[in-house]
């Protein structure tokens, strides 16, 4: 969905639903998900419809994912770290 | 650090300027910010800009690095990555850093959380691929990231034109810019032109973006009155209505924007008095000329107190810090007033263009209260227009009553995304001003925090103040 204009200053690998994804250490988890082509970051609580980051500034809570075992983390406010495990919520 | 003279919340232009000025005036100053680096949303990643970035983003972004450098050199303490989950009238702040919570006691608090994009509740706006125009700009500034597919931009406001130019400069294909600013507005806004012309640069900058978007050959559709997103599992097309009928543009990324509104959850939770701003169609804390709120220890600076823009925010931050220093006995009121004089002159300059912008880009009523019953208003709890109309039929006359009946505003975002639309829908259904519908009663924790972090707090919290 998104592409990066520059090569990463510091490249790290994170794991999204078990799959390795290359990321820039300066980026938020939400930015990395969008650059990796992850269309859905979570399912809505009521109808389990697919959701994705909407505001990228911490107000919409659509980018809630599980990070290193902790649920409901705001991906747009969380910087990536090497070997971080991110789990989106599949249907 | 758990005690300070001055706590500033938010590291945008208002917060950086307030903290810098507070430290200069000898106050033990602490700046808390949710992001990992100073800049706020407008100057996101201000310290990480490459020389080429200014050609893409515009020269005005250089100001962010200047403000950040002055702040770094000021001696103010800085705690990035800090989420504020409580603001008490007595100056107590609840702070979450990582998974640890603590309380900070400040003699004075300046809230500078800035603005957020006004949510645009249109059919299908929850589908992946639909984002705020500001979100795309954040990705561009913070991560050097742009859409890799053609995008549609829709809405009203300077940012729609700016983001179109910025993305086009970065080589992104823009299928269309759908403009919801009504043509007759331009004629009405002309009345503000003589005053706005005194702003000079501000106005010319905006006209420059419109010119650039046109000269780049971007398809511009004016007179758009309704929008709807179609797609299965993700956005696939944006349908729009004009006087000549309905049309549709295929796209997998669409950027919506109807201006920005103050972020008021912190000031609401603290129980500052709020007022409705009819010109900007938003709630804002009531403040005096120094940003002081109805509460003794709490001030608000920058766009969180009403949308004035980044340059004005800087000035408002400095004024609030001067007042803090005077209240805390560092300077006399005479010195405060004398030091403020050039700031007041700057503020007058920075705000001359505002009435024109407010009138020109005022969102269409039809876009704030969709007609379609199935449109989701509260994204978290998936409360629709029909649910809200039912709540009104059952007697909901204010936002909090609608919340109890429908669960709107009860999800993780705590009503940040649905608040404006809920109030507008209830007001329209009852044919009363939005002011009469009121806004949310917000309680701490104003952001989610792990229960374990709350339980581990030393000392505990005082009970919430009664009204």
**pLDDT tens-digit series, residues B283-309:** 999 999 999 999 999 999 999 999 999
User: What is the distance between the alpha carbons of residues B329 and B332, in angstroms, rounded to a whole number?
Assistant: 7
Q: Which two tokens stand for residue B421?
A: 């639309």
**Residue B199: pLDDT band by 50, 70, 90 thresholds?**
low
Integer Cα distance of B110 and B247 in angstroms: 47
Does B117 touch chain A if contact means CB atoms closer than 8 Å? yes
| pLDDT computed for residue B466 by the predictor | 46
C-alpha span between A83 and B152 (Å, rounded):
35
Q: Which of B132, B148, B234 sits opposite A2 (nearest CB)?
A: B148
Pairing state of beta strands B77-79 and B245-250?
unpaired
A25 to chain B: nearest residue by CA?
B143
For residue B188, the model assigns a pLDDT of 75
Q: How much is the pLDDT for B261?
A: 98
Does residue B200 register a pLDDT over 90?
no
CA-to-CA dists, residue B232 to A50, B128, B198, B252, B260, angstroms: 10, 10, 49, 11, 29
| Nearest-angstrom CA–CA distance, A16 and B10 | 31
**pLDDT for residue B464 is more than 70:** no
Surface of B (5-34) touching A: CB under 8 A: 34
CB contact under 8 A, A34 and B145: yes
Read off the pLDDT band of B367 (50, 70, 90). confident
Question: Per mean pLDDT, which range of B30-44, B83-97, B263-277, B349-363 is the poorest?
Answer: B349-363
Evaluate if residue B205 carries a pLDDT over 90: no
What is the structure's pLDDT at B1?
Answer: 62
Q: Which residues 352-381 of chain B have a CB within 8 Å of chain A?
A: 379-381
pLDDT mean across residues, chain A? 94
The residue among B446, B464, B445 whose CA lies nearest residue B455 is B445
Among B117-126, B161-170, B332-341, B458-467, which stretch is predicted with the lowest mean pLDDT? B458-467
DSSP letter (8 states) at residue B242 = E
Stretch B372-382: mean pLDDT? 96
Phi, psi of B413 (to 5 degrees): -80, -5
Mean pLDDT of B116-134: 97
Q: In 3D, which of B227, B44, B260 has the Cα closest to residue B133?
A: B260
Say what the pLDDT of residue B47 is. 95
Instruction: Pick the most confident of A82-86, B98-102, B457-461.
Output: A82-86
**Closest A-chain CA to B233:** A50
Does A91 score more than 70 pLDDT?
no
Give me the mean pLDDT over the B241-265 stretch: 97
B55 CB neighbours in chain A (<8 A) are: none
Q: How many CB atoms lie within 10 A of CB B334?
A: 9
**A91 CB within 8 Å of a chain B CB:** no
Q: Are B381 and A46 in contact (CB under 8 A)?
A: yes
Q: How far apart are CA B141 and CA B377, in angstroms?
A: 29
């Amino acid at each position: 969905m998104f592409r990066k204009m520059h090569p990463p200053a510091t490249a790290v690998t994170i794991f999204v639903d078990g799959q390795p994804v290359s990321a820039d250490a300066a980026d938020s988890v939400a930015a990395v998900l969008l650059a990796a082509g992850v269309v859905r970051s979570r399912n809505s609580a009521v109808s389990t419809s697919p959701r994705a980051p909407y505001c990228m500034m911490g107000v919409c809570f659509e980018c809630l994912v599980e990070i290193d075992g902790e649920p409901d983390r705001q991906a747009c406010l969380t910087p990536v770290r090497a070997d971080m495990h991110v789990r989106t919520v599949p249907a | 650090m758990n005690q300070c003279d001055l706590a500033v919340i938010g590291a945008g232009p208002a917060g950086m300027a307030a903290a810098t000025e507070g430290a200069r005036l000898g106050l033990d100053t602490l700046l808390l910010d949710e992001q990992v680096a100073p800049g706020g949303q407008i100057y996101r990643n201000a310290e990480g800009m490459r020389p080429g970035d200014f050609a893409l983003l515009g020269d005005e972004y250089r100001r962010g690095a200047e403000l950040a450098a002055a702040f770094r050199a000021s001696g103010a303490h800085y705690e990035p990555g800090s989420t504020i989950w409580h603001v008490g009238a007595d100056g107590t702040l609840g702070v979450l850093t990582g998974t640890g919570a603590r309380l900070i006691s400040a003699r004075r608090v300046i809230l500078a959380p800035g603005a957020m994009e006004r949510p645009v509740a249109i059919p299908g706006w929850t589908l992946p691929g639909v984002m705020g125009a500001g979100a795309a700009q954040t990705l561009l500034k913070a991560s050097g990231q742009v859409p890799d597919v053609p995008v549609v931009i829709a809405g009203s406001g300077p940012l729609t034109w700016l983001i179109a130019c910025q993305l086009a400069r970065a080589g992104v294909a823009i299928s269309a810019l759908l403009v919801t600013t009504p043509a007759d507005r331009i004629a009405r806004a002309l009345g503000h032109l003589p005053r706005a012309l005194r702003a000079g640069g501000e106005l010319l900058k905006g006209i420059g973006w419109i010119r650039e978007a046109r000269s780049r050959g971007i398809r511009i559709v004016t007179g758009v009155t309704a929008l709807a997103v179609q797609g299965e599992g993700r956005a696939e097309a944006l349908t729009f209505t004009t006087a000549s009928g309905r049309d549709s543009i295929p796209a997998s990324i669409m950027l919506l924007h109807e201006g920005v509104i103050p972020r008021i959850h912190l000031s609401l939770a603290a129980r500052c008095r709020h007022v409705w701003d009819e010109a900007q169609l938003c709630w804002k804390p009531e403040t005096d000329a120094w940003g002081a709120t109805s509460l003794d220890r709490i001030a608000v600076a920058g766009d969180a107190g009403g949308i004035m823009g980044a340059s004005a925010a800087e000035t408002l931050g400095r004024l609030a810090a001067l007042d803090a220093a005077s209240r805390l006995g560092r300077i006399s009121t005479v010195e405060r007033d004398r030091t403020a004089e050039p700031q007041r002159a700057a503020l007058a300059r920075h705000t001359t263009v505002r009435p024109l912008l407010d009138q020109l880009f005022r969102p269409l009523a039809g876009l704030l209260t969709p007609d379609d019953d199935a449109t989701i208003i509260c994204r978290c709890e998936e409360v629709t227009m029909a649910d809200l109309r039912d709540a009104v039929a059952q007697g909901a006359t204010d936002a909090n009553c609608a919340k109890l009946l429908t669960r709107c505003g009860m999800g993780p975002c705590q009503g940040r995304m649905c608040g404006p639309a809920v109030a507008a829908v209830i007001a329209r259904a009852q044919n009363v001003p939005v002011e009469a519908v009121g806004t949310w009663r917000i309680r701490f924790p104003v952001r989610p925090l792990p229960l374990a972090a709350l339980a581990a707090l030393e000392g505990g919290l005082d009970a919430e103040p009664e009204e």
